[in-house]
Amino acid sequence: MKNKVHPRRDFIRTTAAAAGLVLFNSHRASATETLLAPPPPPPADPRIRFSVININHNHIYGMVDAVTRGGGQLVAFYAKEANLVAEFSKRYPQAKLAGSQQEILEDNSIQLIMSSGIPVERAPLGIEVMKHGKDYLVDKPGITQLKQLAAVKKIQQATGRIYSIMYSERFENRATVKAGELIQQGAIGKVIQTIGLGPHRMSIPSRPEWFFDKQYYGGIITDIGSHQFDQFLFFTGSTEASIVASQIGNVHHPQYPQFEDFGDVMIKGNKGTGYIRVDWFTPDGLKSWGDGRLTILGTDGFIEIRKNVDIAGPDGGNHLYLVNQKETRFIDCNKEPLPFGKQLVDDILNRTETAMPQAHCFLATELALLAQKNAQVIRSSE
């Protein structure tokens, strides 16, 4: 298998939308050609120093920018692929290209390492990061196997380091952040259920080979479904949960036998229930990589979020609709703050858990892995 990864339009758009960036329409544009707005300026008085190892997914740009906004200073990075190195260096010229992964791991001045490597390689790297006394921020899915989860939990508990997964659909989506604030204020009463929809566009010509092989990405529920488990736990406040039912299938892409293009899950927690659907069927006619939606049902109302596009409403994404006993209201959330980066830096400095409790991080991962492992297989009708 080749590890070379080509830029992908939908991955680029995820990062750009999270950062409020303007895009070209070119399908083949590289990440740095597409991300027109400059990254946040390096902090004048850095609160932490951080580095990057492996950049196989363009979510790394949003991750770096989030921690930079929080007061972190990017000092170095390492990747094997020359094209990815060139793109990353163009956007972050202040970052030194390290000669090896070990050079970064052994740099005692670095407090945090982040990665968006090939998914199956993310947990083993995280274990090495924690063994070297550093905290870890990884793109989702941060862990692709139950045996990896057990190993990660063991080392995390032994070292006391932070193992954080960047669930960008919550942390980097302004409408979803706003929904959390409204719910804390009691806007819809007690949350009963969440419905999370995560459709994505395939863009087959731009995908790397590992994208189509389950052993590398972990399966559709493990991968893109992981966002929805995080949101279910967060919005219901559940600290325990079980999978009621799950199913997966490759219903339309027989040329890729190790690929899954559809999955859904019913989940029950100790403080609410949830439904999750993920797929790779976003049509080319949509102006976004996917019509991501979240519905949060409460005892006194509901919230609906149009994360990336609002096909029946105003242009753009980050749209929130609130309906309760008093009103029906539309809220444009595009100017809402994104606190995750600052919270994570605070946690690194203070050894606290304000950005995401460690137990929550691991439970969201475990649920996704169990739903994937025990899913019924949908057979294609073709």
Q: Is the pLDDT of residue 365 over 60?
A: yes
- Reported as half-sphere exposure (CB side, CA atoms, 13 A), residue 50 has a value of 32
Q: Which residues of 193-218 are buried (b: 16+ CB within 10 A; e: fewer)?
A: bbbbbbbbbbbeebbbebbbebebbb
Enumerate the CATH 3.30.360.10 domain ranges in the chain, comma separated: 170-339+369-378
Query: Residue 360 and residue 50: Cα distance in Å, rounded?
Result: 24
Confidence of residue 379 (pLDDT cuts 50, 70, 90): confident
Average pLDDT rounded to a whole number, residues 10-33 = 35
Give the pLDDT score at 3: 38
Residue 359 in this model has a pLDDT that exceeds 50: yes
Q: Which residues contact 44 (CB under 8 A, 6 or more apart)?
A: none
CATH superfamily for 9-167 is: NAD(P)-binding Rossmann-like Domain (3.40.50.720)
Residue 176: both structure tokens together: 């979803």
Q: CA-CA distances (angstroms) from residue 130 to 112, 126, 133, 139, 153?
A: 10, 6, 5, 16, 11
The CATH architecture annotation of domain 170-339+369-378 reads 2-Layer Sandwich (3.30)
Q: How far apart are CA 261 and CA 378, in angstroms?
A: 11
Reply yes or no: is the peptide bond before residue 141 cis, omega within 30 of 0: yes
Mean pLDDT of 147-156: 98
pTM assigned to the model = 0.90
Q: Taking residues 134-155, what's their average pLDDT?
A: 98
| Spatial contact of 24 and 34, defined as CB atoms under 8 Å apart | yes
What percentage of the chain has pLDDT greater than the value 90?
87
Give start-end residues of each CATH 3.40.50.720 domain in the chain. Answer: 9-167
Q: Is the pLDDT of residue 335 over 50?
A: yes
Sheet holding 301-306, edge to edge: 328-332, 319-324, 301-306, 293-298, 191-199, 272-279, 262-269, 241-249, 376-378
Closest by CA to 137, choosing from 156, 118, 112, 160, is: 112
Q: Is 303 left (phi over 0), alpha (psi -120 to 50) or beta?
A: beta
Identify the band that residue 29 occupies on the pLDDT scale cut at 50, 70 and 90.
Answer: very low
pLDDT for 15 beyond 90: no
